Amino acid sequence: MKILGVSLFFFIFLAPFAFVTVQAFTGTYGINYGRIANNLPSPDEVVTLLKAAKIRNVRIYDADQSVLKAFSGTGLEIVVGLPNGNLRDVSADGDHAMSWVQDNVLAYLPDTCIRGIAIGNEVLGGSDQFSGFLLGAVKNVYNAVNKLKLSDVVQITTAHSQAVFANSFPPSSCVFRDNVVQYMKPLLEFFSQIGSPFCLNAYPFLAYMYDPEHIDINYALFLPTVGANDPKTKLHYDNLLDAQIDAAYAALEDAGFKKMEVIVTETGWASHGDENESAATVDNARTYNYNLRKRLAKMKGTPLRPKNVVKAYVFALFNENLKPGPTSERNFGLFKPDGSISYDIGFPGLKSSSADSLLLSLKDNRGCGWCGCYSIILTIATAFLLVFSR
């Protein structure tokens, strides 16, 4: 009876999880929750908004305690960020990296489903202020995560802008810039060893704004168009985002990392801009983000990598009124600061009349996902073993 009980315990409770490889991204659609603003909803209200929109994958650019506490028990999966300003200290001192991981990741697991740590953001390709610290920070944070037995739960990445590329069209011609290679190649070698993807911030909006004379706006917006052909690969592209992703794949292959996956960590379209940003309109933003959702829902790859399903985090959840730069920078949000939609792409807005009751039901229902059900499974499994071990 004991043997039967233990066998049943394994197949019922352990077998479903024995061969699971934890991924930082569930499905194909996620969103960036930027907070450079002074008028945003509370993190608890944001949880309500995300659950109502059925958006599970979320990235933030730091490890804010109020956000991580609000996400506890919700089943939402979050990637936290180590800001660029922290790279020097974390790169120089493994103990500092360990303390950061303990305070900002371990302290919130498993109730808050932290699935990844993004080390800096767009560090390479611009000024070299932090470039020399990136690899050291990545290694120290990974070593800390590994020592804490979290390397199969928390993925280590860093996101790159398209400034790391020397060429982007045709996609097959893309390579890393000469002044980036010295930092990029050892970084890719380490990511290849630990199984991390190449994270790309890809903006057809910016590409079109830079060269509107040679880029068809329909091509940038996923609308019907003649598209573009790559003369080397003979592949046809009917939208600019696919071409940008395949350009990254080409650069990775040229650098010797053909098998590395590309994940889009930022993409979006501004709904308002300055006079010289004529493409930043509500209609264009609605069109891009609506068609992006449809594109991702197809769960298909790109012309160059048809088996690698495209995954993307949209930028951004909210308009951020304190972001510096042109007006467009403050108008990428799918939602306004009051939680209402910026434009309709099928997501519901935040309804204050029912937000509190909905939030309470969400927080009480801790059975969503692995993080939420982990403690319940352990409790039931322990009781099961006790019964059959008598």
Amino acid at 131: S
Among residues 45, 77, 122, 320, the one annotated as catalytic is 122
- Annotated catalytic residue, options 266, 275, 320, 329: 266
CA–CA separation, 200 and 122 (whole Å)? 9
- Asked if 139 and 8 count as a contact pair (C-beta separation under 8 A), the reply is no
**Which structure tokens are listed for 256?**
């010797």
Distance of CA 231 to the CA centre of its chain: 32
Q: Can 266 be counted among the known catalytic residues?
A: yes
Spell out where 309-381 has E strands: 312-314
Query: In what helix (H) or strand (E) does residue 134 lie, and over which residues does it extend?
Result: helix 131-147
DSSP string, 249-308: HHHHHHHT-TT--EEEEEE---S---TT-TT--HHHHHHHHHHHHHHHHT----SS-TTS
C-alpha–C-alpha distance, residues 317 and 59, integer Å: 10
Are the CB atoms for 327 and 277 separated by under 8 Å?
A: yes
With a CB cutoff of 8 Å and minimum separation 6, the contacts of 211 are none
Count other C-beta atoms under 10 Å from residue 174's C-beta. 24
Cα 291 from Cα 344, distance rounded (Å): 12
Residue 88 tokens, joined:
């020097």
Answer yes or no: 122 catalytic: yes
Which residues are bridge partners to 78 per DSSP? Answer: 58, 114
Helix 131-147 crosses helix 178-194 at what angle (to 10 degrees)? Answer: 10
Q: Which residues are catalytic?
A: 122, 266
